[in-house]
Structure 1
Amino acid sequence: LQIPFLSRLHLSEYFSLAISLLFVALEHFISIITLLLPTPIISLCYRATRRLFNYLSSPSSRRNRNYKKGVWSSIANASDFVELCELYGYYAEEHILQTKDGYLLGLHRLGWRRGEEGLTVNGTGDGVAKKKVVYLHHGLLMNSEVWVCLTERERCLPFELVERGYDVWLGNNRGNKYSKKSVHCAPTSTKFWNFSMDQFAFHDIPDSIAYILETTNQPSLSYIGFSQGTAQAFATLSIHPTLNEKVDVFIALAPAMSPKGLTSRIVDSFVKASPDVLFLAFGRRAILGSTPMWQAILYPPIFVRIIDTALRFLFGWTGKNMTPDQKLAAYPHLYSYTSTKSVVHWFQIIRNGVFQMYDDEAPSPVAMNRNKYYKVAKFPTRNIKTPIVLVYGGSDSLVDINVMLKELPRHTVAKEISHYEHLDFLWADSVDELVFPHVFEALDKHARPEASTPGTGNRRKRQRASTIQQSHPSGALPAPGDRPEAEDTSSTFSTHRARKITQNTSRPSSSSQDTNGRPHTPILSPPPYISTPESPGSRPTSSSRIPHPASYAQAVSQRQHSPVHARTPFSPPKQEGRKDSHVGSSSQVTAQSSTSRPEGWWSSDEVAGSE
């Protein structure tokens, strides 16, 4: 082990690093002790934390939590992606692909609306429904479950895309819950975990896209990424020129490229440390592998409080845009395994301020002038030809939009939601009203779905007042074919400036009742599908499944006859007096460049500032 980071840290930073190493050692010790405990003792710890929390809570808080327990507990306790989808009556396929370097990755597919029985989607032969394909990818330390663990169907992006006529696929990184296998080595070996974002870009993303396009017989797809899922797409598209022709549009939610850093000085000392110290603290396999253990022994509200505290400590996020029920439902699905090396890769990017490949040669304390003879390769993101739409939060501490725009091609479009933080793009209470319209507009512009199924042409054409639509002088919304001039991102540009368009948005009212004034029936647990489709593109017919209960059929009927702004909530109707103060303005930045300058050239004084 080399002498770490000599002359790279101040004395106070060494002290912070020592404290953080002490916490890591203590956590490892507690994890080992817990693993040796029998199940009855773990259950006893769970009951003890529950009693403690209830003792410290007010009686009204306990009554409210018990009343709403059925809302979030079914989602929190769902074992996997398929079960989460079944809670809302959607059928999900599971696929496995092998990457070129031997890892087995899990893919999930949502290709059918509720009620589309016996329909063949994107298969071969006659009577096949052709649907455009959308591919969603998760963030760091996550898996595909984070997209579907919401307490309301209308806030679940994959379900909304399915209802709009898309064939939806969700990917998983190597090492996580659905991709923890390789044909060359076992997950218990350090060789299995020897991967970083480089392997995601060279293998996982391109191989997943190739498998999806081959299975669906489609020439291209649209990519939607969240957090690290956007960084993986930036890296992949920059080093695979031919892949740009197979991606219609890249929509980046809470995009990550070169984060500004962490708010905690203790953790920031890890960022500046040598990789040797990080591997010494966390090992060379999976990082934070004890998280499921803490989830098992802690009462859910306490677990949520701990996660909220950690997010505030690390990133300064408040989580105020997410409801308590949503946190209770989603946080159990927040964590999944990844390698320590992939986190070290991010620390290198933050420390150097460059979206680079993994640096295998840790800087030696005596090699003071190594930059003169050695330079880590950057991902050439300015070479991306795929249309890019960035949707970022103004309160997201991990996004530096001005730096990001300088490293992206001229056709990039950036849209800001001023009060949103990082996780809000997955689970915020208003995500369907402030984020989805941006997504749907980008898909409609670059990859409009082709619905060939009889009778589906007029289904799900509801669209709420969008934050990306500008009002006419009369106050009316523009016609569907109208577009603000600032959103013209064609290749003919007359000026080199990132223009910012800001408009006030009012939140449309939503209802949780049907046309007769009755609340919708929540779908808690429809029966699972028990038969396997004969081909990847066909869904089991109604005769091959267990019939739905009457309450489930009623809920589907109510959804089809609901008004245009009605919700079909998983939870009971929302309480009156809901706070709307967080709904602010939405901003759009369009990256443009004149033909007299090299493509991708940027200047810091020519990037529009924030409000």
Structure 2
Amino acid sequence: MWLLFILLISSVRTEDHECVERKLRSVQLGVAFEKFKTDVVSFFKSSVITIERRRKTIQKALKKFINEAFGDDTIENTTPAKRLISGEKIYQDGNIEELVNSHGYNVEHHTVVTTDGYILMVHRILPALLNETNFKSGTVLLHHGLLGSSDDWVLLGPKKSLPYLLVDACYDVWLTNARGNKYSTGHITRTKEDGEFWKFSWNEIGQYDLSSVIDYIQNQNDKVEQLHFIGHSMGCSALLALLSTYPTYNQLLKSAVLLAPLAFMYEIKGPMRLLADFYNQHTQLSLQYLGDHDFVTLQNFPKNFLNKFCIGSEKLCSNPLLLLANGGQEISNVTLKNNILRNVPGGGSMRTIIHYIQLVKSGQFQMFDMGKSKNLKIYGRVSPPTYRLHDVTLPVALFTSSDDWLSTNRDVQSLLSNLPNPVIHHVVRRNEFSHTDFVWAEDADVLVYYLILDVIKLISLGTTDMD
């Protein structure tokens, strides 16, 4: 959570700074918050030797600040009017079944165990009337983005969310959840309190999680068929890591649709660039240490904090929860915004963030840098190898935007030049359509999703002629 506050302090807009100050002055906590910020900055600059002691100090300081600011009020003991200005219901705490059912669809819960022991939850979206189930169009697997979950795909609601459009078009739709998010916190021998549990990045999510989920889905069908894959953000990184390491999975997939793909990241902007600029020899040691923990989950955020600052018309939490990808700033639908705040982020590991920071610094799409000695032991070389993108041979459709901080035009061109079989590259040119808008923009159906349906249908027919 402390890292999120560092990003917030460095990246919020001027009007939001003023809004924070007004909030704090109104409860006479301006001085307390300034002291808290000082503690956070001191922690970030501390040596590795004292980092654990300082981490506990900051956690204590944050808890004290939250208690002083908001007392013991929680979401559960506040009135609906106080919780939500619009009066609409919030679907919170990761209850995707309630959310999907309210949209007129059904959901199945499937458990997948990876070869390295992680227990994943995979959700299958079905029509409201199960006797009307018809999978004549094929099977589609969707993978969420950075710090996301299967919730991300359905928050737009019926007639808008991509999974529902796919179900309506007679596809068998599966939503996976990466290790470490709120649905996939299990392991056959470890607990999430164990540092060893969090020693993974999107590399392992691709090589272990995604491969296991693909195998599982194919085993559910009497007839083994190729799947269509749709990934957003980190989901694209995971797929590219899988296919470049285990090329045989190219034969198990019919196509890959990459939304705002993260691979080459040398040209990114925003808070991730800020973190990369701090990533020198000293902070690298600190970040590597912190890599054995989760990054941030909704459960880590005090609900009384969210209740006071984020619900209804307030804008403050659009920044700390979505600022990494400059998304969520212009969401006008209060119900949608509230459900995003209640269900996002889904969680993940610090090493996932660190791996992306390494890509920013290196300018390469490469494996995790463990340091020279460990690299030599694991990879047989002092520097991490790059992924063999020439082994990603299946048809790939890319959807990007011109206003994305994380998946920039130049970096996408670098990816395109390394892929042997790109079939389409569609650029959304609406102003301020950014990284998270591929899953949460209210016009994403018109700007992106209908075209995706056309693309995968054409690929299934053996053509990519969009005319």
Change (3 A) 1:359 1:34: same
Whether the 8 Å contact between 2:140 and 2:229 is mirrored in structure 1 is yes
Partner of 1:180: 185
Whether the 8 Å contact between 2:331 and 2:337 is mirrored in structure 1 is no
Partner of 1:538: none
Whether the 8 Å contact between 2:397 and 2:424 is mirrored in structure 1 is yes
Deviation at 1:336, TM superposition (A): 1.9
Q: Normalized per residue, which structure has more helix?
A: 2
Match of 1:277 among 286, 296, 302: 286
Deviation at 1:89, TM superposition (A): 1.9
Tell me, yes or no, if structure 1 residue 149 matches structure 2 residue 185: no
Change (3 A) 1:252 1:74: same
> What is the 5 A alignment of 1:19-38?
21=44, 28-33=59-64
Deviation at 1:83, TM superposition (A): 1.2
CA-to-partner distance for each residue in 1:89-127, whole Å, 9 max, x for gaps?
21110000111111111100013x23343x676xxxxxx
Partner of 1:605: none
Tell me, yes or no, if structure 1 residue 84 matches structure 2 residue 99: yes
Match of 2:336 among 306, 326, 350: 326
Partner of 2:72: 42
> What is the 5 A alignment of 1:292-311?
292-299=300-307, 302=310, 305-310=315-320
Whether the 8 Å contact between 1:89 and 1:114 is mirrored in structure 2 is yes
Partner of 1:69: 87
| Structure 1 stretches lacking a partner, 5+ long | 1-14, 55-61, 122-128, 365-371, 450-479, 485-611
Distance 1:173 1:297 in 2: 27
Distance 1:299 1:429 in 2: 24
1:350 match: secondary structure: helix
Change (3 A) 1:313 1:194: closer
Whether the 8 Å contact between 1:388 and 1:411 is mirrored in structure 2 is yes
Largest Rg, 1 or 2 = 1
CA-to-partner distance for each residue in 1:277-329, whole Å, 9 max, x for gaps?
1144x462212257643344332762662332337865555732663432122
1:206 match: secondary structure: helix
Distance 1:205 1:212 in 2: 11
Tell me, yes or no, if structure 1 residue 108 matches structure 2 residue 85: no
Deviation at 1:187, TM superposition (A): 1.6
Match of 2:241 among 230, 235, 238: 235
Distance 2:78 2:346 in 1: 26
Amino acid at match of 1:29: K
Question: Aligned-pair RMSD on alpha carbons?
Answer: 3.6
Deviation at 1:481, TM superposition (A): 11
Change (3 A) 1:140 1:314: closer
1:256 match: secondary structure: coil
Match of 1:349 among 344, 354, 359: 359
Distance 1:28 1:49 in 2: 29
Distance 2:43 2:420 in 1: 39
Tell me, yes or no, if structure 1 residue 407 matches structure 2 residue 418: yes
In the alignment of these two chains, the number of paired residues is 404
Change (3 A) 1:43 1:481: closer
> What is the 5 A alignment of 1:218-229?
218-229=224-235
Deviation at 1:131, TM superposition (A): 5.0
Whether the 8 Å contact between 1:237 and 1:243 is mirrored in structure 2 is yes
Deviation at 1:88, TM superposition (A): 1.3
Whether the 8 Å contact between 2:43 and 2:58 is mirrored in structure 1 is no
Amino acid at match of 2:412: I
Distance 1:318 1:131 in 2: 33
Partner of 1:437: 450
Partner of 2:25: none
Partner of 1:98: 113
> What is the 5 A alignment of 1:191-230?
191-217=196-222, 218-230=224-236
Change (3 A) 1:297 1:315: closer
2:315 match: secondary structure: helix
Amino acid at match of 2:236: T
Change (3 A) 1:227 1:300: farther
| Structure 2 stretches lacking a partner, 5+ long | 1-37, 47-53, 375-379
Deviation at 1:22, TM superposition (A): 6.9
